[in-house]
Copies of this chain bind each other. A is one copy, B any other.
């Protein structure tokens, strides 16, 4: 699949990275001589951050090409994304050129923050709004507005690259999310202009409180909880009257003069000027990845999107040693510690996932556990043999050393490209009855498959030193 990206700024570069890292070829059209460098920098951020959301590998990266003409970029494209400045006449001219040269069945999306499809298509184009959020390579949301058939096609494609398409039923200026952003922005400008709060104070007022609520539940579900046992109707009755109170200044818009620009830009320098934009981007991405990984566990919001996308990613069957691959993932930034390498603790997070995979392989899966039987880990022994860094891809292979009766004895090897493993993890699991919490022998399929797996791995080289499940001298 091929995407053509028209306009290689922050948003266009983010789209390019999102498609590339999901295996698409990408052709960027941008006349800026700096375009290649700028896109390269967005791509470096994306490579560092996006794969760390998943416990499976993303597909092999597509090929990136740069073009100075639209015709050159859109040739053979399945998706064409326009991300140029918010000026209708520029957009119309681009759409005319796309119509003349692009495949007739390509999806044509516009990243416009505010224009409606009826405005975009005034000169006869067949563009839909596909409005993403910065950083495009990490945030899942894309607002789709326009022709029902085209937005449905677009939604399928976006889900395939790990995004969350939100189809807007009626076209409206600024779609949905940007209406909220604009409302908050206008209110914030008043607060700064009137000297009530600085840019830093406003940021604290958001991130120390409701920002944390909104990252996971949004507005209405949060208020549903605030209503408590009395429910949503009670909440609405309680807060309805405030609508007539002077709790916002939004009947009015501040004059956006030089003095206001200087005031805000100066406050922003004081607040964040000690960090470069690159450093801020990396901090933002590191926080986003860590928060989204946290949400992945419960499946809330963006975490649910990642979990669903992960299921569609494939893992190689066998590793460099010929043993089954039980996990393959890229090291997220949050795994790294003060020594500048992967901290000792996440090795066990990785190894534990590999053990979970072995359980699935022998039939001790979610259904089996729901039926009241499972495996508990009795012991783990991890050896750290070589350093692992941010962005390294870890391939875990697993050898079943023993699996007769109540014990399951495994050896996970962590490969990162070297001739020998970067780490090993020996683990001893015990089969338990979840109601009595006692060790019991597995029966049926699980017992059979465990034995079969051990038999299949018996001929494979065993490490000279094993410390678990050994005969005691």
Chain A contacts to B: CB under 8 angstroms: 9-10, 85-86, 113-114, 133-134, 139-141, 143, 164, 166, 168-170, 172-174, 176-189, 191, 194-197, 199-222, 224-229, 231-233, 236-251, 253-254, 256, 261, 264-265, 267-269, 271-272, 277, 280-281, 283-284, 286-288, 290-295, 297-298, 300-302, 305, 334, 338-340, 343-345, 347-349, 351-352, 355, 366, 369, 374, 376-384, 387, 434, 437, 467-468
Copies of this chain per assembly: 2
Q: Are B217 and A203 neighbours in the complex by a CB distance under 8 Å?
A: yes
Main secondary structure on A side of the interface with B: helix
Knowing A202-B218, A225-B281, A250-B248, the reply to whether A381 touches B378 (Cβ < 8 A) is: no
> What chain B residues lie within 8 Å of A305 (beta carbons)?
208
What is the minimal beta-carbon distance from A261 to any residue of chain B, in angstroms? 5
Knowing A183-B250, A224-B277, the reply to whether A237 touches B261 (Cβ < 8 A) is: yes
> Would you mind naming 23 contact pairs between A and B with Cβ atoms under 8 Å apart?
A164-B208, A169-B197, A176-B197, A179-B187, A185-B239, A199-B220, A203-B217, A206-B219, A208-B301, A217-B287, A220-B264, A221-B268, A221-B272, A231-B277, A233-B265, A240-B256, A243-B256, A250-B250, A283-B298, A291-B291, A379-B381, A379-B383, A467-B468
Knowing A114-B242, A280-B221, the reply to whether A180 touches B205 (Cβ < 8 A) is: yes
User: What are the nearest 10 A-B pairs in CB distance?
Assistant: A203-B218, A211-B214, A290-B294, A141-B209, A250-B250, A215-B215, A141-B208, A133-B209, A199-B220, A174-B247
> What chain B residues lie within 8 Å of A143 (beta carbons)?
205
Q: How far, in angstroms, from A271 to B217 measured CA to CA in the complex?
A: 11
Q: Are A166 and B243 neighbours in the complex by a CB distance under 8 Å?
A: no
Q: Are A141 and B205 neighbours in the complex by a CB distance under 8 Å?
A: yes
Q: Are B134 and A226 neighbours in the complex by a CB distance under 8 Å?
A: yes
What is the minimal beta-carbon distance from A374 to any residue of chain B, in angstroms? 5
Q: Using CB atoms, name the residue of chain B closest to A191.
A: B176
Q: Are B382 and A210 neighbours in the complex by a CB distance under 8 Å?
A: no
Q: Which of B114, B180, B355 contacts A184 (CB 8 A)?
A: B180
Q: How far, in angstroms, from A468 to B195 measured CA to CA in the complex?
A: 63
Residue among A206, A249, A291 with most chain B CB within 10 A? A206
Residue among A221, A264, A382, A384 with most chain B CB within 10 A? A221
Q: Are A376 and B381 neighbours in the complex by a CB distance under 8 Å?
A: no
Q: Are B214 and A202 neighbours in the complex by a CB distance under 8 Å?
A: no
> What chain B residues lie within 8 Å of A286 (beta carbons)?
298
Q: Using CB atoms, name the residue of chain B closest to A294.
A: B290
What is the minimal beta-carbon distance from A329 to any residue of chain B, in angstroms? 14
What is the minimal beta-carbon distance from A299 to any residue of chain B, in angstroms? 9
> What chain B residues lie within 8 Å of A468 (beta carbons)?
467
Q: Are B264 and A253 neighbours in the complex by a CB distance under 8 Å?
A: no
Q: How far, in angstroms, from A181 to B213 measured CA to CA in the complex?
A: 12
Q: How far, in angstroms, from A348 to B352 measured CA to CA in the complex?
A: 11
Q: Are B284 and A216 neighbours in the complex by a CB distance under 8 Å?
A: yes
Residue among A174, A176, A351 with most chain B CB within 10 A? A176
> What chain B residues lie within 8 Å of A139 (beta carbons)?
208-209, 212-213
What is the minimal beta-carbon distance from A228 to any residue of chain B, in angstroms? 5
Knowing A206-B219, A214-B211, A246-B173, the reply to whether A201 touches B166 (Cβ < 8 A) is: yes
Q: Are A283 and B300 neighbours in the complex by a CB distance under 8 Å?
A: yes
> What chain B residues lie within 8 Å of A219 (beta carbons)?
184-185, 188, 199, 202-203, 206
Knowing A183-B184, A184-B183, A349-B345, the reply to whether A212 touches B292 (Cβ < 8 A) is: yes
Q: How far, in angstroms, from A139 to B183 measured CA to CA in the complex?
A: 24
> What chain B residues lie within 8 Å of A379 (beta carbons)?
381-384
Q: Using CB atoms, name the residue of chain B closest to A240.
A: B256
> What chain B residues lie within 8 Å of A280 (beta carbons)?
221, 224-225
Q: How far, in angstroms, from A61 to B283 measured CA to CA in the complex?
A: 36
Q: Which of B184, B205, B208, B232 contacts A302 (CB 8 A)?
A: B208
Q: Using CB atoms, name the residue of chain B closest to A378.
A: B384
Q: Are A207 and B215 neighbours in the complex by a CB distance under 8 Å?
A: yes
Residue among A185, A247, A251, A383 with most chain B CB within 10 A? A247
